[in-house]
Each structure stands twice: as C-alpha cells, then as structure tokens.
Structure 1
Amino acid sequence: MSNTYDESRAEWIAREELAERMIPLIGLLYRRDGIVPSVLGRRLLHLSPIEILKAHRFTRRLGVQALAPEKTMAVLESLWRIQPGPASLDVARLVSRFDEAGGTYDAASLDAFLRGELAGVMAPPASAPTDVVLYGFGRIGRLLARILIAHQGTGQGLNLRAIVVRRGGEGDLRKRASLLRRDSVHGAFEGTIDVDEERGTILANGTLIQVIYADDPASIDYTAYGIDEAIVVDNTGRWRDEEGLGQHLRSRGVARVLLTAPGKGAIKNIVFGVNGDDIAPEDRILSAASCTTNAITPVLAAVDQAFGVVRGHVETVHSFTNDQNLIDNFHSGERRGRSAALNMVITETGAAKAVAKALPQLAGKLTGSAIRVPTPNVSLAILGLELERATTREEICAFLRQTALTSPLRQQVDYSESPEAVSTDFVGSTRAGVVDGLATIATGDENVVLYVWYDNEFGYSCQVVRVLERMAGVHPTILPEREPVRIAEAVAEELAAEAEAALA
C-alpha cells in the first residue's frame, strides 16, 4: 500500500466514525418501518462499528472492491426520507444496481431510484401481530426466544408471549431466566432480563414472557393470559405425529402448531427456502424438519437443479446432544448410552430420507448415517454425490459460491474458502449450512464430495423462525429480488473471464 502510517490510521478512523453514525439510523429504520438492512445476507442490525465495517469488506467475495460505507450511509438516509414498509434490504445489491445505472448520489436521484426498486413495499398492508408460545425451553427453545426477542421491531410480527415448562422445583423461574441470560456456547444474552416471581414472568428487552407450568398440552387456557390465535412451537420432541401434536390444538387460544423435529405421517416437513411455499393457511400442524435436513436440503436442491443428482450418501459428523449420556449409562438407543464426552458414537440419522419430503425427486436416491462427536455445537455433513454429468472442482465451487451470494437460497446457503476454518468459526451462523469450498472434491468426472458446516442449534433456530414468519404471514419481503440460480457452466465461464481480464 502507498499510504503512510498516519494516512492509514486517519482513513480507518473516518470509516469507523461513519459506521458509528449508521448505528442509530439502522435502529430507527427497524423500529419505525421494519426495515432490516444487510450486506449480502449479513444483517447490519445490532452490530458494532467494527462488525459493520467487516460486513462491508465481505462484498469482495463478488470479485469487486469492498462496499464503500459512504454509499451505505447515503442509502440509509434515503430510506429514512422515503419511508418504505417492512422489508429485508440488501444494501450491497441496491448500491450495485444504482452504480450500474450510472446514478449519482444526490438525494433526488437516489430517492427516485429506491422508490422504483422498493415499489412493492412502499404501501405495505396492515398486519396484526401473531402470538407465539414456546412449549419446552431447552437448547432450541432458548435460542428461539433470543431470536424472537431480537426481532420484535415494530411489534407487528411475531410476539413471544409465553413459555410452557414442567416445574423444576424451588427457584425454577430464576434458573430458567439464568439459562436464557447465559449460554456456554452462544455467549451472554444481549440485553437485560428481569424476573417477577410473583407474576411468573420474565421481562427480556421489553418483551414480557409469561412462564406457564403444565404437564398436559391439552389443558392450558392461554386466553387467561391474554394470548389468542397463537402458534405453539413444540420443542420437546415428545410428540411427532398428528395425534400427539394435536393435543396443543385442544387448548384454548391455540391456532397452529410447529414442531422443531422431523414430523411423522402426513405432517409436512418444511425446509424454508426449498418448500416454504407448501405452507397453506389450512395447515394446522407443521414440522420444521431437523437441523441436518435443513443444512443439506438447500445445497442438494441447488446441485440437483444444475447438475442432477443420481444418488448419494450423507455422512453427518454431529455434535453431541442432550439425549446422550455424559458418562456410560442405560439408554434406549444403541450406542447412545456410551459417554458423549469421551467417544465418537456411530448412530442413525433420518436426514437423508427426510430430504425427499422437501425434494420428492430425490426419494430413494440418498442414504445416510451419523457419527456423534465430543463437541457441543456445530456439525459437518459430508455429501458424496454421483451427478448426471461431469464437473470440475472449479465449476461446482463457483456455482455454490454464486448460490450463496445472490440466489434465492442465499438465506439458507453460505460459502467459505478459508484455509483455517474449523467448527467453532461457524457458531452463530444464521444460514442453514455453509459449504466449505476448499474441502470440495471433484476430479472431472460425475462424482463429487461436498462438505457442509452447520450450527445445528442457532442456524437451525433461524430456519424455524423463518417458517414461523411464513405461517404468520409476516416473513419480510427480500429486496432487491434475488437472481435465479444460474447454470454452473455459465457461472464458471463468467468467473474465468473476470480472472482473465484482471490479469490483462
């Protein structure tokens, strides 16, 4: 670099100050209009100045210069002036389109451009909030609570109203609040939590959560707590069929039920981004499938569309879970009684078969197995696939990279090419799965091996919330509209041309 030490430092301070000025504006847009700005899927809401600048540098993955914070600030100020309705807005894509159109960053030009780009949300329909009840408050239940609290915004979306648990003895309420406040994997809760033992409530960042103690899902009168037409999210995994989950519908104030585990029988298993459009108003019981199914299905959907999947095997290297024993003890499942903290444990997974519920064309084409390993979170799915046509590593990696950046699956699929990436780097990922590009194996024939990391707790919980939003009709419009997944050869040719031009 030609800059001197002082020039480099001054430039950084100026960028940091600009990011600091973005923070209150981002918050105001979210609370007033329900606007969630992002940079290629990296949300800017609730970030520090340094994190905002890191998100801007992420745009270099598109083969262009890092997004200039000055341009982001101009877009945010324009959004404040034109007041669109609720939406998830990719600032990087908006800036790219504006630059391609030869726009100048004066207020009038930018306002006119954004009104055109956001025409679909300039007059948003009025929507009523939807009450949500978490039935069970374990690993997934507490992460769902964190996400729902962080997504409160204008209060017109999903409102977390209650959690239902079995009473655990003296000090139960404070212990549960403490587990929400502190997490050994995901860190401290970002905000404040107050407990009112007399009223049986937890107040978290202004969200008042009623704690209800019950053993029978069919006997709760939610309306007594001011809760009605609620969606109950069953996190217990105790019931997985219509008969068992239907018990929730017999409680007053419940309209629909969502299971955070694979559903059995005729229950629709939804992997958001792949078959979310299958959610119908008349569906009263739905499943959000499993964490592994959510991680691999979007990747398989993209690969099948571009290359065709003949057959494959899914091997999951999965973090241990609460259904295993810390030390050897009796367990109804084979091998799961052995110490989770000391062993790799071969076990079964239904994820490969479950993919067919979201992608019927892959029915009977996949097998699967799992190895539980002594890590608390983040798992790895290894997809060994035979494709309909030959491909190279460069081609399929270019395709998956583009899928993660600009395709309709970019909320579900991420892509990494870090030579130092390990499992803990993916804790807190909001995507269902992250393709490890450097680990991809393809030698020019029809066989490929893909490695997909996934936060089996938080990433999965984000997918569950997306299903909830679609059930409630409040999933934010994503603008600008995302590009369709392009055929892999075209992506590879485009990248090769860019590389050749750069060397010229």
Structure 2
Amino acid sequence: MTVNDDSFTNWKIREEIAEAMIPLIGKLQRERDVTVLLHSRSLVNKSVVGILKTHRFARQIDGAELSVTETMPFLEALTTLDLGPSQIDLGMLATMYKADERGLSVGQFTAEAVAGATGANKIERREPRDVVLYGFGRIGRLVARLLVEKAGSGNGLRLRAIVVRGGGAQDIVKRASLLRRDSIHGQFQGTITVDEDASTIVANGNEIKVIYADDPSHVDYTEYGIRDAILIDNTGKWRDREGLSKHLRPGIEKVVLTAPGKGDVPNIVHGVNHDTIKPDEQILSCASCTTNAIVPPLKAMDDEYGVLRGHVETVHSFTNDQNLLDNYHKSERRGRSAPLNMVITETGAASAVAKALPDLKAKISGSSIRVPVPDVSIAILNLQLARETTREEVHDYLREVSLTSPLKRQIDFITAPDAVSSDFIGSRHASIVDAGALKVDGDNAILYLWYDNEFGYSCQVVRVVQHVSGVEYPTYPATAV
C-alpha cells in the first residue's frame, strides 16, 4: 500500500466516525438542550466534512490536528450521562484529558468535567421564548437564519413574526425568496414554504407570521398569540429610548436594537459587558458591527498590557445606505457610487467604546473608509501600550485568548499567510486577529482585525438575545476540572 493509499484509508475511517457522530450530536440537542462544541465552534447541524474541518482547526492549539478518533469517546460518554441544558466542548475535554495524570477513564473524566450539568446540578429546560423581528433587511434575514438554526430543541428562542411595510403583489413570496437565497451567504440550510393566505413563512417547520405595519403603535402582538417576546429592531429608525419604547406594545417585553443606541440606551457587546444588563432593562442596543469587532480585542490588550491611547481605522465593505451610482444622499460622500469608489466616511465605533468599556481610560479615535466589496471588513487597531512587549508575546497571548479565554466566542485567530477578506464570509466571531499582519514595536502594537460585518455581527446579536432571554446555557468543562 502506498502512502497515498494510507492517507485515503485514514480519511475514510475518519469520515465513518464523523458520520456516526451526527445522530449523537443531534439527539443531545433535541432531547436535552445540549449543544456540542469543538473549541467554541458548534458541531450541531454540521456535515461529515464540516465536522472534520472543525476538528482540523484544533491544530492551532498544539500544532497537531485533533482527530475524531480522539473526541468520539467523549461524545459517547456524554450520551450516558443525565445531562441538562448546557454547552459542552469536546475539544476542551480532549485537551484537558491529555494533561490529566490521574489515570481516569474517559467516562470517569467526562462525568467529573461536566458534573455541573448533570443530576441535581442541571438546569431545568426553559419554555421557548418568542422573538419578533422588526424589519427584514440584511441583518434581519441573517438573524432569522440563526434563530431557525438554533430552534432544534424547541426550548430556546422561537422566531414568531417579522414586521415589515407592505410591498405590493407577492410581497411575502419575495421576502421568503430573499431568505432562501443570498448572494453573499448562500442558500438557506433547510426548506422554506409560503402560505400567502395565512401570511406566514414556514422555515424548517417554524411558522413565522408576516405582519404588515407602518408604525409600531399599530401592532398588538397578542392577537397573534405572541407573549413576553423580545423584539429585535433591525431598521435603525429609532435609536433612543423614547423612539424604541414605541415597540413596547402588548406581547413585547424587551427591545434589542441592531445599531448603536443613543442617550442612556445601554450599548452591549456580548462577551465584554453583557453581564451588566439589568434584569428589568427593557431597551438595549447591540452597538455596531465595528464596535463588536474592536472592543473584545481592545479589552484583551488592556487587561494584559494596559492601553494608553489608540486609533482605529476601519476599511469597511459598502452597505445598503450608499448609492449604487452617483446620486443625491444626505451624506455628501456616501452619495458617490459605492461599487466604484473608496469612500471616506465617519464611524461612531471609537466613541461607542466608552459605553462598552467604561473602565478603559484611554482615548480612542476612529475613522472609516468604505470600499467596493459587499461583505467583510477589517479594523486596524493602533495602540500605545502601558508597557513594552514583543511581537512574539502579543502573538502568543492573542492566540491563547482566542482558544481558552472568556472571549473565545468573540475573538478568532488565523495564521494563514494568504488570507483575504472573502475567506471570512460566514465567520461567527466578532473579529479575527490576522497573526501575519500583527506589528509590535516596544509599546506600540498594531492589530489587524477581520470581521464579517453582517454574519459575525448577527451572531453577536443572537448571543445578546439568548442572554437576556435566559436561554444562554453554561459551558463545560471549566478551565480546570
């Protein structure tokens, strides 16, 4: 047998194991509300190849690919336990088991590592929480995809309705088509049907009512059986407390804005300050995509090195508020053709840092350039640190933050020397550190941070909604068993 034959045989064995993992992962989610992760990446609804590719990511930990042959025993052990709602990381289990010197079996170690989610310690499954989308544009449709994707157990967030302005003949059919096919993010993973008479879109069995209204004050959500819902405003039309309070109609308990909030509206970046949300807070903002991209790495750098001052320059994909061709626009430069020009514009991300990181005393300035790509942006974060360091130290620190810290769902890390913007379409992280572009000179550090300003931001929005709804479950194992 040749070396190539050996490689192919090994691949087929791993394919077979990954195939056997799929029903176990699905059953844990459906029956017990357990989400199986691999180093913070969900394995739920992954294909065979998707599971194998996710395992390959683990080579960033110790330079070696983590194999399904190593993680499958932990997954099998989980199926024997009396688990409650939780997120369980197979990658962390495998890594910690290798370092454990007590001679425990995989089953014994797993039971101990996830003890907080079993037996008398487990959290009871919660009733599903209704969600309403107000507006159904780029962010609205991506949030809808995520909500449908995460509805597998039936005990999490449940998308009940979208609210839009009437658009004429076959409006609902056209909106369903936009949900089904996306030029950037590809096909919807599942099936979508439309009932025009009932004004509903059915996505993977989820019945979503389409409500037509020109103003929030025209809607009584209880008429549609919606109770205590979280409404996500994707329009950005109202950004202060007074305006957003219009959404607090019968059936709506909380309002989440997918744009920077003004005045006393809390700006929340999940992973950084989501734990500051007061239980009785009814209105909050998820800030902007750029704020979500820069705040987590900024916090990480300040925690370790101290930040005295900084400047962020965002090279941002064009958005729907720009003109395709030169035409009138209330903002002078944004009136020029988006697909044909680089456009200097403003960003509120730097000033929004103070809301998300009130303990950061450093002055952060910012500016932005819109460029002719439809998605994925890069933030260049130039920092003056409180102490001198080296490129190697910062490199290793940010790599470790992306793998094991509380910010691992927000910060990713890539070492590929040929990475370009389109590689990050569909990234679920708020930002991705480009290791090859990192620059450090004494007390000056320059971080290059990629981010999918559509999908990565939508993931952050859903995380905030999960948190305020009470369906954000704890992750096991902890950093130490």
TM-score (norm 2): 0.97
Matching of residues 58-457 of structure 1 within 5 Å: 58-102=57-101, 109-122=105-118, 123-249=122-248, 251-363=249-361, 365-443=363-441, 445-457=442-454
1:474 and 2:471 aligned: yes
* Match in the other structure for 1:460: 457
Following TM superposition, by how much is the alpha carbon of 1:103 offset from its aligned partner in structure 2, in angstroms?
A: 6.8
Query: Contact (CA 8 Å) 2:307, 2:362: kept in 1 or not?
Result: no
Query: Contact (CA 8 Å) 2:308, 2:362: kept in 1 or not?
Result: no
* Match in the other structure for 2:6: 7
Following TM superposition, by how much is the alpha carbon of 1:364 offset from its aligned partner in structure 2, in angstroms?
A: 5.8
Counterpart Cα distance in 1 of 2:52 and 2:107: 24
Amino acid at match of 2:254: R
Percent of aligned pairs sharing the same letter: 56
Change (3 A) 1:54 1:142: same
Corresponding residue SS for 1:15: helix
1:19 and 2:18 aligned: yes
Following TM superposition, by how much is the alpha carbon of 1:65 offset from its aligned partner in structure 2, in angstroms?
A: 2.7
Comparing 58-67 and 147-156, the one that deviates more: 58-67
Q: Could you list the runs of 5+ residues in structure 1 that have no partner in the other structure?
A: 484-504
Comparing 145-154 and 9-18, the one that deviates more: 9-18
Corresponding residue SS for 2:217: coil
Corresponding residue SS for 1:371: strand
Corresponding residue SS for 2:158: strand
Cα deviation code 1:439-485 (max 9, x no counterpart): 01112x111111000000000000000000111011121112248xx
Query: Contact (CA 8 Å) 1:85, 1:124: kept in 2 or not?
Result: yes
Counterpart Cα distance in 2 of 1:482 and 1:267: 34
Corresponding residue SS for 2:24: helix
Counterpart Cα distance in 2 of 1:3 and 1:22: 29
Query: Contact (CA 8 Å) 2:308, 2:361: kept in 1 or not?
Result: no
Amino acid at match of 1:181: R
Query: Contact (CA 8 Å) 1:40, 1:405: kept in 2 or not?
Result: yes
Counterpart Cα distance in 1 of 2:472 and 2:125: 14
Counterpart Cα distance in 2 of 1:71 and 1:348: 49
Following TM superposition, by how much is the alpha carbon of 1:99 offset from its aligned partner in structure 2, in angstroms?
A: 2.6
Amino acid at match of 2:265: I
Counterpart Cα distance in 2 of 1:101 and 1:3: 37
Query: Contact (CA 8 Å) 1:353, 1:364: kept in 2 or not?
Result: no
Counterpart Cα distance in 1 of 2:356 and 2:203: 35
Cα deviation code 1:189-240 (max 9, x no counterpart): 0000000000000000011100000011122111111101101000000000
Following TM superposition, by how much is the alpha carbon of 1:104 offset from its aligned partner in structure 2, in angstroms?
A: 6.7
Aligned length: 477
Query: Contact (CA 8 Å) 1:44, 1:52: kept in 2 or not?
Result: yes
Following TM superposition, by how much is the alpha carbon of 1:154 offset from its aligned partner in structure 2, in angstroms?
A: 1.5
Query: Contact (CA 8 Å) 2:85, 2:124: kept in 1 or not?
Result: no
Amino acid at match of 2:354: A
Corresponding residue SS for 2:388: coil
Cα deviation code 1:269-299 (max 9, x no counterpart): 0000000101111100000000000000000
Corresponding residue SS for 1:112: helix
Cα deviation code 1:103-126 (max 9, x no counterpart): 778xxx333322221122212224
Following TM superposition, by how much is the alpha carbon of 1:155 offset from its aligned partner in structure 2, in angstroms?
A: 1.2
Counterpart Cα distance in 1 of 2:439 and 2:88: 35
Counterpart Cα distance in 2 of 1:457 and 1:476: 24
Counterpart Cα distance in 2 of 1:20 and 1:103: 32
Query: Contact (CA 8 Å) 2:113, 2:478: kept in 1 or not?
Result: no
* Match in the other structure for 1:502: none
Question: What is the aligned-residue RMSD (CA, Å)?
Answer: 1.4
Amino acid at match of 1:200: S
Counterpart Cα distance in 1 of 2:465 and 2:63: 36
Corresponding residue SS for 2:338: coil
Amino acid at match of 1:429: S
Corresponding residue SS for 2:419: coil
TM-score (norm 1): 0.92
Counterpart Cα distance in 2 of 1:387 and 1:430: 29
Corresponding residue SS for 2:232: strand
Corresponding residue SS for 1:245: helix
Counterpart Cα distance in 2 of 1:207 and 1:310: 49
Query: Contact (CA 8 Å) 1:381, 1:452: kept in 2 or not?
Result: yes
Corresponding residue SS for 1:22: helix
Amino acid at match of 2:426: G
* Match in the other structure for 1:498: none
Change (3 A) 1:12 1:103: farther
Counterpart Cα distance in 1 of 2:223 and 2:78: 41
Counterpart Cα distance in 1 of 2:382 and 2:96: 38
Following TM superposition, by how much is the alpha carbon of 1:267 offset from its aligned partner in structure 2, in angstroms?
A: 0.7
Query: Contact (CA 8 Å) 1:129, 1:159: kept in 2 or not?
Result: yes
Counterpart Cα distance in 1 of 2:265 and 2:310: 25
Amino acid at match of 1:265: G
Corresponding residue SS for 2:416: coil
Comparing 311-320 and 29-38, the one that deviates more: 29-38
Counterpart Cα distance in 1 of 2:196 and 2:125: 36
Cα deviation code 1:17-64 (max 9, x no counterpart): 111111111111111111211221222112221221122122111125
Amino acid at match of 1:23: I
Cα deviation code 1:385-433 (max 9, x no counterpart): 1111111111111110000011110000001111110000000000000
Comparing 30-39 and 427-436, the one that deviates more: 30-39
